[in-house]
Structure 1
């Protein structure tokens, strides 16, 4: 499986280059949990991007919220990235941490694609909560 994520922001300082993406450790836990390596490929080549060794980090305020570190890529805000070999345990290890809805799953076979699991919504999360009356 492939996990698709979007570059939301780029941030660089004298020591690091961070690509803040819309995917997070709650979507694909293996890099944070096991330091698992997933090949990162641009969905479209970006010759006009900033070439650097990027750490791909998510929007969750945790030091473990990264999906890849030190990847040589040419990036711009708005680029889409594909994290390869992400399907086997992606959804089963995902969570609603930080009230983040889980991502959709799409089955692709040749030129055919089908939605097999809808993206959760915030309302889906609220529907499972109840107010206790005293």
Structure 2
């Protein structure tokens, strides 16, 4: 089937791919390969979105190198006035 691959924020330019033909089934995971080395450094918490996890894949091993942020992590530095 044909898919548009989009990000999680409500911006019209948040496309990772348009009109991509993929053979997907419910529950499949989609990897953004060769997305660059600056994923975390260039990420933001814009629109109150916690940062994604980072996983390093080496052959058949997947190693979690940075856990996904939680909403509690996102709010940890906030203070109410």
- Whether these two folds match at TM > 0.5 is yes
Q: In terms of Rg, which structure is larger? A: 1
1:88 and 2:45 matched: no
Number of equivalences: 81
Alpha-carbon distance change, 59 to 77 in structure 1, aligned in 2, over 3 angstroms: farther
Mapped to 2, the partners of 1:80 and 1:114 lie a distance apart of 16
TM (norm. structure 1) is 0.52
C-alpha deviation, 1:128, in angstroms: 0.9
Higher normalized strand content (fraction of residues): 1
C-alpha deviation, 1:129, in angstroms: 0.4
Tell me which residue corresponds to 1:114: 63
C-alpha deviation, 1:111, in angstroms: 4.2
TM (norm. structure 2) is 0.78
Considering Cα pairs closer than 8 Å and 6+ residues apart, tell me whether 1 or 2 has the greater RCO: 1
- Which consecutive unaligned segments of at least 5 residues does structure 2 have? none
SS at match of 1:123: helix
Tell me which residue corresponds to 1:71: 20
Mapped to 2, the partners of 1:113 and 1:62 lie a distance apart of 31
Moved over 2 A (4+): 74-79, 106-115
RMSD: 2.0
Alpha-carbon distance change, 127 to 92 in structure 1, aligned in 2, over 3 angstroms: same
Tell me which residue corresponds to 2:76: 127
- Which consecutive unaligned segments of at least 5 residues does structure 1 have? 1-50
Mapped to 1, the partners of 2:52 and 2:12 lie a distance apart of 22
Mapped to 2, the partners of 1:127 and 1:60 lie a distance apart of 21
